[in-house]
């Protein structure tokens, strides 16, 4: 269990807090708006109404004990930046922050924020990917144009073998898992016959994964 601080309990901050609590972590939630704090107070480990541009008020919240503090203030650039500065000076170990513009991102990066999140942009990319490759459930970028993806096997592929759907470029591709109902097989043989109800987890270069897409339809 870890301890997190979430500053700004708007839609993004509130949702992140509830998910962290569901995952079994402790969350200190802070917002200057009483209504936003009241709406979450019964779930949060500790809830505080405070203006985070006021360093003194921030100091009283013991946020330096958190593993990570997320600054989820997007619209008010000045409040977001001042808050990050104050968190640094009270000794918070790791800061993540939401950014709403390129300039906001640049300054947060200069201030040493570990991870800068652009929720709308990141969600937009995910939605476009899902529309482009509907068979892809989940994907994770591994860097250098490599991805790990989870795909659902289409029922029209019933009777084909895994070999039939592999990309041409096997050098830049790994089949990691096959899931059929509640049975999971690691490194499955490519001769396995598909039923059309499986989930595959694969890793590969974007080029290799793209060449596989037509075989999956």
User: Where do contacts with ligand ADP occur on this chain (CB under 6 A)?
Assistant: 8-13, 31-33, 36, 51-53, 73-76, 79
Measured CA to CA, the distance from residue 31 to residue 51 in angstroms comes to 7
Q: Which is nearer to ligand ADP, 5 or 8 (CB)?
A: 8
Q: Which is nearer to ligand ADP, 12 or 173 (CB)?
A: 12
Q: How far is the CB of 21 from ligand ADP (least distance, A)?
A: 17
Helix (H, G, I), strand (E, B) or coil at 70: strand
Q: How far is the CB of 167 from ligand ADP (least distance, A)?
A: 40
Q: Which is nearer to ligand ADP, 74 or 167 (CB)?
A: 74
Q: How far is the CB of 18 from ligand ADP (least distance, A)?
A: 13
Identify whether the C-beta of residue 99 lies closer than 8 Å to the C-beta of residue 119.
no
CB-based closest residue to ligand ADP? 10
Q: Which is nearer to ligand ADP, 61 or 212 (CB)?
A: 61
Q: Which residue has the tokens 């709403």?
A: 100
Those residues with Cβ within 8 angstroms of residue 59's Cβ, 6 or more apart along the chain or in another chain = 86, 90
Strand order in the sheet with 199-205: 136-143, 146-152, 199-205, 173-180, 183-186
Identify whether the C-beta of residue 191 lies closer than 8 Å to the C-beta of residue 162.
yes
Q: How far is the CB of 2 from ligand ADP (least distance, A)?
A: 22
């Amino acid at each position: 269990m870890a301890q997190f601080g979430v500053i700004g309990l708007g839609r993004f901050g509130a949702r992140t807090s509830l998910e962290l609590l569901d995952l079994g972590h402790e969350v200190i939630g802070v917002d200057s708006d009483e209504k936003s704090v009241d709406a979450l107070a019964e779930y949060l480990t500790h809830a505080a109404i405070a203006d985070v541009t006021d360093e003194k008020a921030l100091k009283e919240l013991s946020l330096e004990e958190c593993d990570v503090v997320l600054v989820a203030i997007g619209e008010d650039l000045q409040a977001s930046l001042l808050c990050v500065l104050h968190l640094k000076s009270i000794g918070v170990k790791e800061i993540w922050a939401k950014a709403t513009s390129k300039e906001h991102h640049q300054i947060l990066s200069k201030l040493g924020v570990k991870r800068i999140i652009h929720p709308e942009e990141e969600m937009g990319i995910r939605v476009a990917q899902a529309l482009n490759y509907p068979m892809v459930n989940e994907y994770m970028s591994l860097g250098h144009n490599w991805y790990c993806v989870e795909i659902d096997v289409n029922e029209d592929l019933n009777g084909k073998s895994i070999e039939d759907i592999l990309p041409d470029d096997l050098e830049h591709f790994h089949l990691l898992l096959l899931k059929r109902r509640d049975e999971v097989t690691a490194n499955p043989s490519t001769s396995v016959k598909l039923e059309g109800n499986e989930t595959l987890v694969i890793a590969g270069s974007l080029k290799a994964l793209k060449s596989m897409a037509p075989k999956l339809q």
